[in-house]
Chain A
Amino acid sequence: MQVTGRWSGFRAALAGSVKQQGILYAFILFLAGVAVAYPTVLSIGNVLTVVQQVSIIGVMALGVTFVVIGGQLDLSVGSLLSLTTVMVVGLHDKVGPLPAMLIMFAAAALVGAFNGFLVGYLKLNSLIVTLGMLSALQGITFLYSGGNNVNIQNPNQTWFAVFGRDFVFHVPVPMIIFLGLAAVLGVLLHRTGYGRRVFAVGGNPTASSYSGVRSSRIIFTTFMISALCTGVAAVILGSRVMGSQNTVGQGYELQVLAAIILGGTSLLGGAGSMFKTVIGVLILGFIQNALLLLGFAYYVQWLVTWFVIIVAVWFDVASKRGRLWA
């Protein structure tokens, strides 16, 4: 009797968990399926490579997750990545690595503050504001660089190389930054009063403002976090490539949103988690990696991403409304 009770309890817990983390289980099944055909996909070397490759999009996605849970969108991160990468690389040889990074982070913070002020305090629509910033920042990047590509003359003689190229005990540094930042921001989002207020503002702005949460300030800070995370991504990207084109971040905002959506964070706000975003980022990375291993052309991953995004969100929406079709 006790045994069956335990078993049914376990089954209920499993069912609940599948419903909660459906995308995670689908991901595990997908990886297992690929691993049967190509065991190398789960080799330590391959896994490290994939996580390293997704770390730039991943770090950006961590920041945008705050914005999305707060009920807003940030489309400006792709152009901001272009600007900050061009800045940090271009300034490196002129003023040295540390001042270059400080100036770049100050610029990123300024952009985040601008977005945050317009959306948080002036209550303008975040989709349009950040769309405008996508355009403006792309132009500013060109203005700043004069249209020329930038690069670092002696990539082997600068400690700036640590962020994108080095390993600690065979673990790539970008991966450490990504997962470390995910842990720190995860604690901030899920274990502090601030994080709870972000959820409150995204879930029900009216109720949260009646309970004394200053939603303007919360939204402002989420845009700051998003911009600063993009700055971190720029450090990794700049250090890895040791050069930058003016349009290097073009389209990244879409990949970032795709990862967040795949992880299961709702664009409506008020729900989601840092863990889900990490899973979403890994799914994107492994789709690409597995398809290449299976011998498909590079662009086929985009087709697969298309269908996976729609189907993943569809099942999520369907499980909430209790039937498959709208």
Chain B
Amino acid sequence: MSAVSDGTNAAEVVAARRPTVRTVAGSALRGVRRQPVWFLVVACVIFFGLTSPYFLQAGNLGNVLVQSSFIGFLAVGMTFIMIDGNIDLTVGATLALAAALAVGLQEAGAPPLVGVLAGLAAGAALGAFNGLAVVLTGVDSFIVTLGGLIGIRGLVFVYTREQSMLTMNGAYTGFGSLAVGPVPVIGIIFLLFVFVGQWVLRRTVHGRNGYAVGGNRDAATNAGIHVGRHIFLNFLLMGLLAAFAGIMLSTQMGSATPNLGTNYELWAIISVVLGGTKLQGGSGSLWGTLGGVLAIGVLRNGMNLLNVAPFYVYVVLGFVLIATLFIDKFGRR
């Protein structure tokens, strides 16, 4: 029980200031206890482990991690955005644009690094635009990014001319299948983002300010927090992460299609909400988001292994999402 202590002991408070292995593990454990989504993850893992002989094999678990990572990158950024009380619907389209740029420029003869940088730059620019529009005009982020979702997808179609793009560069497409032992590199990067992101949320001024901004914006302003700058930075980060997700996805597929990432914004939001982050803002953690992302990944993979038609996943997920909301509202009285 010491790992989930409430931190009233003075020595523990001091220890808690330094992120040692013990405190990180404690934070992770507390996160798990607070987020019921982890019970869903564990239940699914046990269920699929018993029903499918392939599920618990190292290779398959690596697949689950990689398949989860792409939505996962988006969900990490979305957690920051939603803790502020905002939402970003553009991430699926931004992902597609970054992938199209990264692959398309290579098709046009540029070295891979130029394509990757161009993709990241486009993501940053679109994130910055969203952030500036939300902060400067005072229009609700739902509306700004609803427009963006339609418009950025238009940009993708204008750039790709409705064609799929392909790269033959082995070094580029090889990155997607790199692995350290049984653990794929893309999955490691995703987990790294979760750990670093959670550290930023809990241990840095920027992260802690997010809870203040989402909890009570006026109070945050009065307390001297630069609310506008804070929100802008999170949208910028979100744009970069969406572009990164798109580039990672394109290295795995070796191509980019104009419809890439359609509905990914919905999956990312579903993951974050499953992970216990409130739409109203002011609370949330990346441990919960990780659970939400893995729950979806395990469900998709496991049902696939059991030969369940893929569209059952949509039905299950839709009702799981509504059930989460239901439990959140009525389960904690």
Contact = CB atoms under 8 A, between A and B. Distances in A.
Interface of A: 118, 122-125, 127-129, 131-143, 147, 250-251, 254-255, 257-258, 261, 267, 297-303, 305-310, 313-314, 317-318, 321, 325-326
A16 B315 CA distance: 49
B151 A132 contact: no
Interface in B218-276: 262-263, 266, 269-270, 273
Interface stretch (B38-46, B49-57, B140-148, B187-195): B140-148
B139 A306 contact: no
Q: DSSP majority for the A interface?
A: helix
Given A125-B279, A307-B147, A135 B139 contact: no
Interface in B291-325: 309, 311-322, 325
B121 interface: no
Contact of A139 (B279, B318, B329): B318
A136 B133 CA distance: 33
Contact of A258 (B147, B158, B317): B147
Given A302-B151, A305-B150, A306-B154, A132 B138 contact: no
A135 B136 contact: no
B139 A136 contact: no
A143 B143 contact: no
Contacts of B144: 310
B154 A124 contact: no
A321 B137 CA distance: 11
B157 interface: yes
A125 B87 CA distance: 14
A143 B319 CA distance: 15
A299 B325 contact: no
The B interface, classified by DSSP as helix, strand, loop or mixed, is: helix
B152 interface: yes
B311 A142 contact: yes
B166 interface: no
B140 to A, nearest CB: 7
A303 B321 contact: no
B24 interface: no
B140 A303 contact: no
A139 B314 contact: yes
A127 B330 CA distance: 18
B143 A135 contact: no
Contacts, number: 148
A306 B150 contact: yes
Tell which of B144, B313, B325 has the most Cβ of chain A within 10 Å.
B325
Contact of A299 (B158, B269, B311, B313): B158
B139 A147 contact: no
B311 A139 contact: yes
Contacts of B321: 128, 131-132, 135
Contacts of A305: 147, 150-151, 154
B149 interface: yes
B172 to A, nearest CB: 27
A303 B155 contact: yes
A192 to B, nearest CB: 29
Given A147-B311, A302-B153, A310-B147, 13 more contacts: A128-B273, A128-B279, A131-B321, A133-B318, A135-B321, A138-B314, A267-B143, A298-B157, A305-B154, A307-B147, A308-B147, A309-B150, A314-B139
Contact of A134 (B142, B143, B157, B266): B266
Given A132-B321, A140-B315, A317 B279 contact: no
B329 A123 contact: yes
Contacts of B322: 118, 124, 128-129, 132-133, 136
Interface in B108-129: none
Contact of B154 (A267, A303, A313): A303
Contacts of B330: 122
Nearest to B157: A299
Contacts of A261: 143, 146
